[in-house]
Amino acid sequence: MIDEALMTAEDYARIKYDLPEGGRWTELFAGRVVSLQPPDEMHGNIVLNLSKAMAATYQSNPQPLGMACFDVSILVRRNPDSLLSPAMSYFSNEMGFAPVDEIYTERKPRLVCEIASTNDRRKNIAERVLAYLGCGIEVVWVVDPFDKCCHVYQVDQRPYQLSEQETLDGGSVVADFRIPVANLFAEPSWWK
Protein backbone atom coordinates (compact mmCIF):
# COMPACT_ATOMS: atom_id res chain seq x y z
CA MET A 1 0.00 0.00 0.00
CA ILE A 2 1.27 3.46 -0.86
CA ASP A 3 1.36 5.59 2.32
CA GLU A 4 -0.68 8.73 1.69
CA ALA A 5 -3.47 10.68 3.35
CA LEU A 6 -7.00 9.57 2.53
CA MET A 7 -7.88 10.43 -1.05
CA THR A 8 -11.15 10.97 -2.83
CA ALA A 9 -11.93 9.37 -6.18
CA GLU A 10 -11.30 12.77 -7.76
CA ASP A 11 -7.86 13.03 -6.09
CA TYR A 12 -6.98 9.56 -7.37
CA ALA A 13 -8.08 10.45 -10.90
CA ARG A 14 -5.74 13.46 -10.86
CA ILE A 15 -2.65 11.47 -9.79
CA LYS A 16 -3.26 8.02 -11.28
CA TYR A 17 -1.02 8.48 -14.33
CA ASP A 18 1.79 9.80 -12.10
CA LEU A 19 1.89 6.48 -10.20
CA PRO A 20 4.32 3.70 -11.22
CA GLU A 21 3.31 2.15 -14.57
CA GLY A 22 0.77 4.93 -14.98
CA GLY A 23 -1.30 3.50 -12.15
CA ARG A 24 -2.14 0.48 -14.26
CA TRP A 25 -2.26 -2.01 -11.38
CA THR A 26 -3.65 0.30 -8.71
CA GLU A 27 -7.03 0.90 -7.12
CA LEU A 28 -8.38 3.18 -4.43
CA PHE A 29 -9.61 1.28 -1.39
CA ALA A 30 -11.04 3.13 1.61
CA GLY A 31 -9.26 6.32 0.52
CA ARG A 32 -5.84 4.72 0.05
CA VAL A 33 -4.02 3.83 -3.14
CA VAL A 34 -3.42 0.08 -3.27
CA SER A 35 -0.97 -1.56 -5.69
CA LEU A 36 -2.00 -4.95 -7.07
CA GLN A 37 0.22 -7.65 -8.49
CA PRO A 38 0.13 -7.68 -12.29
CA PRO A 39 -2.16 -10.46 -13.52
CA ASP A 40 -0.67 -13.68 -14.84
CA GLU A 41 -1.08 -15.45 -18.18
CA MET A 42 -4.12 -17.46 -17.03
CA HIS A 43 -5.84 -14.21 -16.01
CA GLY A 44 -5.26 -12.94 -19.55
CA ASN A 45 -6.63 -16.17 -21.06
CA ILE A 46 -9.79 -15.90 -18.97
CA VAL A 47 -10.32 -12.28 -20.04
CA LEU A 48 -9.77 -13.27 -23.69
CA ASN A 49 -12.20 -16.20 -23.48
CA LEU A 50 -14.79 -14.13 -21.63
CA SER A 51 -14.54 -11.30 -24.17
CA LYS A 52 -14.91 -13.74 -27.09
CA ALA A 53 -18.02 -15.27 -25.50
CA MET A 54 -19.50 -11.82 -24.87
CA ALA A 55 -18.75 -10.82 -28.48
CA ALA A 56 -20.51 -13.95 -29.75
CA THR A 57 -23.55 -13.03 -27.63
CA TYR A 58 -23.63 -9.53 -29.16
CA GLN A 59 -23.20 -10.81 -32.70
CA SER A 60 -26.12 -13.23 -32.29
CA ASN A 61 -28.40 -10.45 -31.04
CA PRO A 62 -29.29 -7.67 -33.50
CA GLN A 63 -30.30 -5.42 -30.58
CA PRO A 64 -27.78 -6.00 -27.76
CA LEU A 65 -29.13 -4.98 -24.37
CA GLY A 66 -25.79 -3.79 -23.01
CA MET A 67 -22.03 -3.61 -23.34
CA ALA A 68 -19.14 -5.40 -21.65
CA CYS A 69 -16.25 -3.16 -20.60
CA PHE A 70 -12.88 -4.39 -19.42
CA ASP A 71 -10.77 -2.87 -16.61
CA VAL A 72 -13.12 0.06 -15.95
CA SER A 73 -12.77 1.51 -12.44
CA ILE A 74 -16.09 1.71 -10.60
CA LEU A 75 -16.86 3.94 -7.64
CA VAL A 76 -18.27 1.48 -5.10
CA ARG A 77 -18.13 3.60 -1.94
CA ARG A 78 -17.82 7.22 -0.77
CA ASN A 79 -16.34 8.57 2.47
CA PRO A 80 -13.82 7.04 2.34
CA ASP A 81 -13.86 6.47 -1.40
CA SER A 82 -13.20 3.10 -3.02
CA LEU A 83 -12.62 2.51 -6.73
CA LEU A 84 -12.42 -1.12 -7.83
CA SER A 85 -11.42 -2.35 -11.29
CA PRO A 86 -12.99 -5.73 -12.03
CA ALA A 87 -11.77 -7.70 -15.03
CA MET A 88 -15.13 -7.14 -16.75
CA SER A 89 -18.19 -4.97 -16.14
CA TYR A 90 -21.50 -5.29 -17.97
CA PHE A 91 -23.51 -2.08 -18.38
CA SER A 92 -27.08 -2.24 -19.67
CA ASN A 93 -28.09 0.12 -22.46
CA GLU A 94 -30.63 1.98 -20.32
CA MET A 95 -27.80 3.02 -17.97
CA GLY A 96 -25.71 4.37 -20.80
CA PHE A 97 -22.23 3.30 -21.73
CA ALA A 98 -19.46 3.76 -19.18
CA PRO A 99 -17.16 6.51 -20.36
CA VAL A 100 -13.98 4.95 -21.69
CA ASP A 101 -11.99 8.17 -21.56
CA GLU A 102 -12.47 8.71 -17.82
CA ILE A 103 -10.42 7.24 -14.97
CA TYR A 104 -13.55 5.91 -13.24
CA THR A 105 -17.32 5.85 -13.50
CA GLU A 106 -20.04 6.39 -10.92
CA ARG A 107 -22.48 4.44 -13.11
CA LYS A 108 -23.09 0.99 -11.73
CA PRO A 109 -22.84 -1.99 -14.06
CA ARG A 110 -25.40 -4.73 -13.62
CA LEU A 111 -22.71 -7.44 -13.49
CA VAL A 112 -18.99 -7.58 -12.75
CA CYS A 113 -16.46 -10.37 -13.10
CA GLU A 114 -13.41 -10.68 -10.86
CA ILE A 115 -10.58 -13.12 -11.57
CA ALA A 116 -8.90 -14.41 -8.40
CA SER A 117 -5.57 -14.95 -10.14
CA THR A 118 -3.06 -13.41 -7.73
CA ASN A 119 -2.64 -13.60 -3.95
CA ASP A 120 -3.76 -10.02 -3.37
CA ARG A 121 -6.87 -10.50 -5.50
CA ARG A 122 -7.71 -13.76 -3.69
CA LYS A 123 -7.03 -12.36 -0.23
CA ASN A 124 -9.70 -9.66 -0.27
CA ILE A 125 -12.24 -11.17 -2.69
CA ALA A 126 -14.99 -11.42 -0.05
CA GLU A 127 -14.62 -7.72 0.78
CA ARG A 128 -14.72 -6.86 -2.94
CA VAL A 129 -17.86 -8.93 -3.52
CA LEU A 130 -19.60 -7.21 -0.58
CA ALA A 131 -18.57 -3.79 -1.91
CA TYR A 132 -20.00 -4.57 -5.36
CA LEU A 133 -23.28 -5.95 -4.05
CA GLY A 134 -23.51 -3.17 -1.46
CA CYS A 135 -23.32 -0.42 -4.08
CA GLY A 136 -26.12 -1.88 -6.19
CA ILE A 137 -24.40 -4.21 -8.64
CA GLU A 138 -26.78 -7.15 -9.14
CA VAL A 139 -24.42 -10.01 -10.02
CA VAL A 140 -20.75 -10.75 -9.27
CA TRP A 141 -18.86 -13.59 -10.92
CA VAL A 142 -15.58 -14.65 -9.31
CA VAL A 143 -13.53 -16.89 -11.60
CA ASP A 144 -11.02 -19.04 -9.72
CA PRO A 145 -8.21 -20.23 -12.03
CA PHE A 146 -6.68 -22.43 -9.32
CA ASP A 147 -9.79 -24.45 -8.51
CA LYS A 148 -11.11 -24.10 -12.09
CA CYS A 149 -14.54 -22.90 -11.01
CA CYS A 150 -16.74 -19.83 -10.97
CA HIS A 151 -18.56 -18.45 -7.92
CA VAL A 152 -21.78 -16.53 -8.55
CA TYR A 153 -23.05 -13.92 -6.08
CA GLN A 154 -26.38 -12.14 -6.46
CA VAL A 155 -28.27 -9.65 -4.35
CA ASP A 156 -30.63 -11.39 -1.90
CA GLN A 157 -29.70 -14.90 -3.09
CA ARG A 158 -27.40 -17.61 -1.83
CA PRO A 159 -24.05 -17.74 -3.63
CA TYR A 160 -23.25 -20.84 -5.63
CA GLN A 161 -20.26 -22.40 -7.34
CA LEU A 162 -20.05 -23.78 -10.88
CA SER A 163 -17.50 -26.49 -11.68
CA GLU A 164 -15.66 -26.99 -14.97
CA GLN A 165 -18.41 -29.39 -16.06
CA GLU A 166 -21.13 -26.73 -15.71
CA THR A 167 -22.15 -23.70 -17.75
CA LEU A 168 -22.04 -20.08 -16.65
CA ASP A 169 -24.95 -18.02 -17.93
CA GLY A 170 -25.87 -14.37 -17.75
CA GLY A 171 -29.21 -14.99 -16.04
CA SER A 172 -31.62 -12.08 -16.37
CA VAL A 173 -28.74 -9.60 -16.76
CA VAL A 174 -27.24 -10.95 -20.02
CA ALA A 175 -30.00 -13.34 -21.07
CA ASP A 176 -28.32 -14.93 -24.11
CA PHE A 177 -24.85 -15.30 -22.59
CA ARG A 178 -23.56 -18.84 -21.95
CA ILE A 179 -20.08 -20.31 -21.67
CA PRO A 180 -18.96 -23.70 -20.36
CA VAL A 181 -16.85 -22.93 -17.28
CA ALA A 182 -14.06 -25.14 -18.70
CA ASN A 183 -13.87 -22.81 -21.73
CA LEU A 184 -12.93 -19.90 -19.47
CA PHE A 185 -9.61 -21.63 -18.74
CA ALA A 186 -8.78 -22.79 -22.29
CA GLU A 187 -5.50 -21.67 -23.83
CA PRO A 188 -5.98 -19.88 -27.15
CA SER A 189 -5.55 -22.30 -30.07
CA TRP A 190 -2.99 -19.98 -31.69
CA TRP A 191 -0.88 -20.20 -28.51
CA LYS A 192 -0.05 -23.89 -28.96
Q: How do residues 143-181 score in pLDDT, each as one tens digit?
A: 999 999 999 999 999 999 999 999 999 998 998 899 999
pLDDT at 119: 93
pLDDT on residue 191: 62
CATH number of the domain bearing residue 93: 3.90.1570.10
10 within a domain of the structure (yes/no): no
Domain that holds residue 146: 37-191
What's residue 70's pLDDT?
Answer: 85
Q: pLDDT higher for 77 or 67?
A: 77
Give residue 172's identity as a one-letter amino acid code. S
Q: Total structural domains in the chain?
A: 1
Alpha-carbon span 168 to 170, nearest angstrom: 7
* Structural domain contains residue 64: yes
160 is a domain residue: yes
Q: Which pLDDT tens digit goes with each residue over 56-71?
A: 888 777 676 788 888 8
Average pLDDT of the segment spanning 124-133: 97
Average pLDDT over residues 85-113: 83
Other beta carbons less than 10 A from residue 22's beta carbon: 10
Phi, psi of 150 (to 5 degrees): -135, 130
pLDDT of 143:
99
Q: What percent of the chain has pLDDT over 90?
A: 75
